Structure 1
Amino acid sequence: MPNTQINQDDINKAVWGACDTFRGTISPDIYKDFILTMLFLKYISDVYKDEYKQLVKQYGDQPELINAMMAKQRFVLPKEASFWDLYDKRHEAGNGQRIDMALHAIEEANGSKLKNVFQDISFNTSNLGAEKQKNEILRHLLEDFAKDILNLRPSRVGTLDIIGNAYEYLIKHFAAGSGRTAGEFYTPPEVSDLLATLLDPQEGDEICDPACGSGSLLMKCGRRVRENFNGSKKYALFGQESIGSTWSLAKMNMFLHGEDNHRIEWGDTIRNPLLKDASGNGLLHFDIVTANPPFSLDKWGHDGAA
């Protein structure tokens, strides 16, 4: 594979082009979850593969040491669960089932970090047509993400921002095609930038978005801290999101932007607030609270907020 540094426009075009696999088969509001999840899987697989090669180069005659060090990676990939394992078997029947099993195994192997993140996404769905058609669609998807341009290993990508930006690029384009429902998971960057500037978060702040969607507003606040305090990551991001699939997007979005110091809960903030203190009885307090909630909702839980 080429060692030339990837640029943002190239990766954006490549991941958006992968959507052609689904166009004409299912609507964008459904296939967005397939594309975004596959980007996440491809990235963590390329990182894992890159790290393994580096360790083999250093400790090639110590397989037990290599395995022990791989078990401490940021994300652990069980056997047969990486993107490349799935790609190697793409011509066999059962692509949908294999991908689902791989995602489940990754959840299990990474404990609380990825718990339930993939539970609302199934590649083995009848939405993709009969078994033969579904298998072909998923084969094309795997081949799209296996292209050289989407070689996402760290030594080629450089900064994690490029991957995170590509994820945001996809979310933005999916939102543009979703019309009224876009507000459920997306805040335009102009709005996020303005709010982050006005709030001016400081080093050490704990920042909360109780209607966080895909997490873009929280991450803009985090970026503001880094820009103003010499790259400091001494801050914490908290959020809650009521829609399961959108909560999953937020979790993956955080990780792809390197925002590991986060706590994003899944549930209705008004009816079932989950950002509670250590006692479990009181709500957490934050230095900054910001949100762009779905203002168009009629039944938003005001009757239970008293």
Structure 2
Amino acid sequence: MAVTQQEIENRLWDAADELRVAMPEAQYSSVMFPLMFWKYLSDTWEHHHQEFLAENDGVESLSAEEAREIEYRDYQSFEIPVIHPGNIHERPATWSSILATITQPGLGRRVRSALQTIETANPDKFSRLFGSMTWTSEEVLSADVLAAVMQAMDRTPKMHEGNMSHDVLGGAYEYLLKRFSDGSGTRAGQFFTPREVVELIVKLLDPTSFESVYDPTCGSGGMLIASANLLKAKGGRGYTLKLYGQEAVPDTAGVARMNLFMHNLTQFEVEVGDTLKDPRFTKPDGSAAQFDVIVANPPYSLKWKPWIRDPRALGGVAPPSSADWAFVQHMIASMDPRKGRAGVVLPHGVLFRGGQEAVIRQRVLDDDLLEAVIGLPANLFYSTSIPTCILVFRAPGVKAPERKDGVLFIDASKRFTKAKNRNILTELDISDVVTAYHSSSDSGGNPVDSDGGGLAARFVPTTEIAANGYDLNTGRYVKQAAAEQEDLGALIDAYNIARAERQKTEQHMLAVLAAAGIGGFDE
């Protein structure tokens, strides 16, 4: 019987709920994701092990080395070794093996040992995957609570491809990410960008088969996964994308790696480090590696130590009070010169702030690298309620002819639906923005293929922007049509009053005319 999405999500949340007595919801992810991924690996390994046994009669006549060679050559894609080999405590590092010892002292130590052993045995795939694992310490999480979480999670259906699709499995992982974010407040912004914002950026940039996609501040990997999912939804082969990400927080980088694996995406590299200070994807000469598609939602207005000499510093160096334009400069440097494009979410301040940011902004516009500015509604994000914008860039000379020497402005600030904790973009909102972005423009710069739908859009020549001091504030160039809805009762009352005044004035006029001997005006 097929496993439903609802079933696995409910079971996983039951397991997470066991943590409520031990830690705030903001910390659930550090425990749940490693345990969930470990169970997924164990269930998958044991499923293929049973296939190996069923399909190889007489396997008992083989030596252990011969059997292992056949199994790992033909059935397994990763290794789950034993912990404490040659010791009385020797056992496989599988979920079921450790779960069988759940009543024995030292459960956290055994879990930690199992996860570390799996990382060590698979350095190319799972190195540093499970994060710091501080939660395995008895001081952080008691054995009783850890046992309760594992027992609850063990009631989820088997997490292998013979029992559930990667779409279901990946969807369950995404469900937990969102659920933890909804309950985590501003901390969620560290690793989770709302999925509708991710979908919008990816649809604007439109990755195609065999392209490379790079996120320099990848968080939980959502933008990389969305790129593959969009390509798959369009009938393409999402697994052909080469995915790259860098994340400053090691545990969050582990979340991203597990997320990608859960979605059956294996062509990826996620590195740990500060992208501005220590970019991990570089060419042999040390310059930034280049990619077809770059996507990012970097930390807003981050205080940073500015570059002294760095080839990425196009037009100058961003001020220490805000790294916003430094992230943009890094993304511009990372665009492939043949077809590179980049999309980034940033606060509105990047559009108009003065000083060194204004100098960088002018250089980017003079080089004709900025293609579009899209104003988003306020309160879309978990980490801030301020309005944000999406900036879309193209590598030099890559813009379509009709987009050269100008910028497309789209004001989508009024397009949202109020939800419990924040505003959201609907599928229609996303579709209308994408349509406006891809539309051609008339002589006035207005999109001709878009019906508006509450959006204001206009293509603005760089000369006009320069005349405005290179200010990119959306309100300077596009205006939302006023659509005030009057109260019908008030309108009727106003009409009746005006009608009575008119009748009174007409009666007075007719009386004056009659007194003067002028007639013929009666109805």
TM-score (norm 2): 0.54
- Could you give the per-residue CA deviations for residues 205-259 of structure 1, whole angstroms, max 9, x where no partner exists? 1111100000001110111222334435322011100011100100111111111
CA separation in 2, counterparts of 1:259 and 1:18?
Answer: 26
CA separation in 1, counterparts of 2:18 and 2:27?
Answer: 13
Matched with 1:144 is: 152
Matched with 1:59 is: 56
Q: Is the 8 A contact 1:100 1:123 kept in 2?
A: no
**Equivalent position SS for 2:259:** helix
CA separation in 1, counterparts of 2:9 and 2:198?
Answer: 21
Matched with 1:289 is: 294
- Could you give the per-residue CA deviations for residues 88-146 of structure 1, whole angstroms, max 9, x where no partner exists? 111111100000000010001101211112241234324445xxxx1211211221122
Q: Is the 8 A contact 2:244 2:268 kept in 1?
A: yes
Matched with 1:153 is: 160
Residue 213 of structure 2 corresponds to residue 207 of structure 1 = yes
CA separation in 1, counterparts of 2:224 and 2:306?
Answer: 24
Greater CA drift, 230-239 or 262-271: 230-239
- Identity in percent: 29
- After the TM superposition, list the runs of 4 or more consecutive aligned residues in structure 1 that deviate by more than 6 angstroms: none
**Equivalent position SS for 2:245:** strand
CA separation in 2, counterparts of 1:34 and 1:232?
Answer: 29
Matched with 1:83 is: 95
**Equivalent position SS for 1:293:** coil
CA separation in 2, counterparts of 1:191 and 1:67?
Answer: 46
Q: Is the 8 A contact 1:70 1:76 kept in 2?
A: no
Matched with 2:234 is: 228
Q: Determine which of 93, 108, 116 is the counterpart of 2:128.
A: 116
CA separation in 1, counterparts of 2:242 and 2:174?
Answer: 20
RMSD: 1.8
Matched with 1:270 is: 276
CA separation in 2, counterparts of 1:296 and 1:16?
Answer: 34
Q: Determine which of 6, 23, 26 is the counterpart of 1:26.
A: 23
**Equivalent position SS for 1:71:** helix
Letter in 2 for 1:163: L
Letter in 1 for 2:3: I
Letter in 2 for 1:153: H
Letter in 2 for 1:71: Y
Q: Is the 8 A contact 1:207 1:288 kept in 2?
A: yes
**Equivalent position SS for 2:233:** helix
CA separation in 1, counterparts of 2:237 and 2:139?
Answer: 44
Greater CA drift, 259-268 or 225-234: 225-234
Q: Which runs of 5+ in 2 are unaligned?
A: 83-91, 318-523
Matched with 2:343 is: none
Q: Could you say which structure has the higher strand fraction? A: 2
- Could you give the per-residue CA deviations for residues 149-182 of structure 1, whole angstroms, max 9, x where no partner exists? 332232211x111111111111111111111111
Tell me: CA distance 1:49–1:280, structure 2 relative to 1, closer, same or farther (3 Å): farther
Tell me: CA distance 1:246–1:255, structure 2 relative to 1, closer, same or farther (3 Å): same
Matched with 2:382 is: none
Tell me: CA distance 1:170–1:107, structure 2 relative to 1, closer, same or farther (3 Å): same
Letter in 1 for 2:187: T
Tell me: CA distance 1:218–1:301, structure 2 relative to 1, closer, same or farther (3 Å): farther
CA separation in 1, counterparts of 2:104 and 2:285?
Answer: 49
Matched with 1:74 is: 77
Matched with 2:256 is: 250
CA separation in 2, counterparts of 1:25 and 1:204?
Answer: 45
Tell me: CA distance 1:189–1:301, structure 2 relative to 1, closer, same or farther (3 Å): farther
Letter in 2 for 1:32: S
Q: Is the 8 A contact 1:99 1:123 kept in 2?
A: no
**Equivalent position SS for 1:170:** helix
**Equivalent position SS for 1:294:** coil
Letter in 2 for 1:287: D
Higher relative contact order, chain-length normalized (CA < 8 Å, sep 6+): 1
Q: Which runs of 5+ in 1 are unaligned?
A: none
Superposed displacement of residue 302, structure 1: 4.0
- Could you give the per-residue CA deviations for residues 25-77 of structure 1, whole angstroms, max 9, x where no partner exists? 11122232111111100011001001000110011422555422443422211
CA separation in 2, counterparts of 1:70 and 1:168?
Answer: 32
Q: Could you say which structure has the higher helix fraction? A: 1
CA separation in 1, counterparts of 2:301 and 2:26?
Answer: 19
Residue 7 of structure 2 corresponds to residue 10 of structure 1 = yes
TM-score (norm 1): 0.91
- Could you give the per-residue CA deviations for residues 257-305 of structure 1, whole angstroms, max 9, x where no partner exists? 111000111001001100123x2623210011110111153x1444566
Matched with 1:96 is: 108
Greater CA drift, 172-181 or 70-79: 70-79
CA separation in 1, counterparts of 2:241 and 2:195?
Answer: 21
**Equivalent position SS for 1:290:** strand
Greater CA drift, 180-189 or 97-106: 180-189
Greater CA drift, 242-251 or 230-239: 230-239
Letter in 1 for 2:33: L
Tell me: CA distance 1:70–1:28, structure 2 relative to 1, closer, same or farther (3 Å): farther
Residue 43 of structure 2 corresponds to residue 46 of structure 1 = yes
CA separation in 2, counterparts of 1:30 and 1:296?
Answer: 25
Task: Within 5 Å, give how 1:186-205 maps onto structure 2.
Answer: 186-205=192-211
- The size of the alignment, in residue pairs, is 295
CA separation in 2, counterparts of 1:245 and 1:119?
Answer: 4
Matched with 2:471 is: none
Residue 175 of structure 2 corresponds to residue 174 of structure 1 = no
Q: Is the 8 A contact 2:208 2:236 kept in 1?
A: no
Choose 1 or 2 for highest CA Rg: 2
**Equivalent position SS for 1:211:** coil
